Amino acid sequence: MTLTKPKKIENKIAAKETLLTPRFYTTDFEEISKLDISKNQQEIEAIVEEFRIDYNRDHFIRDKEFSKTWDSFDEKTRNIFIEFLERSCTAEFSGFLLYKEISRNLKNLNPLLAEGFSFMARDEARHAGFLNKAMSDFNISLDLGFLTKTRKYTFFSPKFIFYSTYLSEKIGYWRYITIYRHLEKNPSYRVYPLFRFFESWCQDENRHGDFFAALLKSQEHLLNTNEARLWCRFFLLSVFATMYLNDLQRKDFYASIGLNAKEFDQYVIRKTNQSAKTLFPIVLDVDHPEFFLLLDKCSTINQKLSEIDKEEYSTIAKSIFKVPYYGKLIFTLIKLYLLKPIETNYIWAM
Ligand SMILES: [Fe+2]
Ligand SMILES: [Fe+2]
């Protein structure tokens, strides 16, 4: 019998929080518990029933391909992989905490929704755990308990949680499936076994998105009013812009798996926008000639902001230097928001 020397696993303190790092959210649990979901109860019940089947119960099992040593990765590749795993793990774990808290608070007041949220928390815990195990292949792990206690929680009202998590789940689905299909066609770029798991994994995210879609449909005023149209536009743009700015800062990671970050993001944005067409009264005109030009401008400004961060100025000096760039960024985002949207003619009524 051969004994392998146990690896020394360092506990990693989560990276510094910036505007674009995955956030932790909290909400008004009482307001959610009082929601009358009777208008779309059947669809919600059907999705909860699917969650109960638990298609991916046996999916997240590490096979022998993971036991290979990953020390052959050069320092740069290793670091970009760790960053990708850390950000993904934090985002999945943030979903777990939010869904778990909502479920706990709704237990006696709205059992159907409580059950739906607890199934989604189960899935996100699996995703976060699997990613954290993957980090240990690079001799590092995230202290999730520490993260829970020390991260700042952002308050979002329930309707904002519904719009933004619906879109995050759908964009997550498109990201995972696109990476999976690309590596299926180009196996030489599948440098680490995690990506093999994305096909079934992304179906979890797709079902979560469907749950939020069904929940939004049970609240007609969140889809049919003029106010709803403004919020749908706002959340589409913020979810798309956040991903675009984040990914274009991390081109090297996408290049390491043979993807062009810009092309990948533009494809994912188009697909998510198309998915939103089946729910939102309005979607963004991503084929408008200005749309990606303006997003590219935002990305260049964001690059400038991170360059200032890397300089050895004092914190006050950095903040002063950043002001004009923040001004330009906000101005460009407003221009994007004001581009004429596309009517989906989708009026939801039961
Ligand atoms: Fe997930
Ligand atoms: Fe999810």
| Tens-digit pLDDT profile for residues 200-239 | 999 999 999 999 999 999 999 999 999 999 999 999 999 9
Dihedral angle computed from the Cα positions of residues 154, 160, 162 and 168, in that order, rounded to the nearest 10 degrees: -70
Least confident of 4-8, 92-96, 314-318: 4-8
| Tens-digit pLDDT profile for residues 149-163 | 888 899 999 999 999
N-to-C CA span, the chain: 65
- Nearest ligand atom owner, CA of 169: 2
> Is the full-model pTM beyond 0.95?
no
What is the Å distance from ligand 1's center to 184 Cα?
21
Spatial distance between the Cα atoms of 112 and 42, rounded to a whole number of angstroms? 11
Whole-number average pLDDT of the chain: 92
Residue 114 predicted with pLDDT over 80 = yes
C-beta atoms surrounding 53 within 10 Å: 9
Side chain identity at residue 135, one-letter code: M
DSSP state of 11: E
SS3 140: strand
Residue 10: CB partners within 8 Å, gap ≥ 6? 139, 140, 141
- Nearest ligand atom owner, CA of 208: 2
The percent of the chain in helix, strand and coil, each rounded to the nearest 5, is 70, 5, 25
What is the Å distance from ligand 2's center to 317 Cα?
40
| Tens-digit pLDDT profile for residues 6-43 | 456 666 655 555 555 678 999 999 999 999 999 999 99
Can you give the pLDDT at residue 1? 37
What is the Å distance from ligand 2's center to 165 Cα?
8
The DSSP bridge pattern shows strands 10-12 and 140-142 to be parallel
- Nearest ligand atom owner, CA of 170: 2
What is the Å distance from ligand 2's center to 310 Cα?
33
Give the pLDDT mean for 330-344: 97
Residue 4 predicted with pLDDT over 50 = no
Two tokens, residue 66: 């993971």
What is the Å distance from ligand 2's center to 77 Cα?
27
Distances (CA, A) of 136 to 16, 97, 200, 272: 20, 22, 22, 32
| Tens-digit pLDDT profile for residues 171-187 | 999 999 999 999 999 99
What is the Å distance from ligand 2's center to 325 Cα?
33
What is the Å distance from ligand 1's center to 204 Cα?
7
| Tens-digit pLDDT profile for residues 30-76 | 999 999 999 999 999 999 999 999 999 999 999 988 888 777 788 99
Model confidence at 295, pLDDT cuts 50, 70, 90, reads very high
Two tokens, residue 232: 């749908």
